[in-house]
Amino acid sequence: MFEELAATCEATECNRELPDEPALVFRDSAGERRAYECPCGAVTVTVAKAHA
């Protein structure tokens, strides 16, 4: 199920699929944040909380 998830750009009138590899990854004790840059110039950030 999760293998089929794909991040898409949510900028107005874009909806392009974002790259598989993030441009930037930040990890700390709270979890992980990934930043993806779309060719349109918009940046999308995803957040995953760390498992307890």
pTM: 0.73
Q: What is the pLDDT of residues 4-51, one digit of tens each?
A: 677 889 899 998 999 889 999 999 998 999 999 999 999 999 888 887
The domain total for the chain is: 1
Separation between Cα atoms, residue 34 and residue 48, nearest integer Å = 9
pLDDT confidence band for 3 (50 / 70 / 90) = low
**For 10-19, which contacts have Cβ atoms below 8 Å and span 24 or more sequence positions?**
10/42, 10/44, 11/38, 11/40, 11/41, 11/42, 14/38, 14/40, 14/42, 16/40, 18/44
Cβ-based neighbour number of residue 32 at 10 Å: 14
Per residue in 37-50, pLDDT (tens digit) is 999 999 999 888 88
What is the pLDDT, as a whole number, of residue 1?
Answer: 46
Q: Which range marks the domain in which residue 26 is found?
A: 2-49
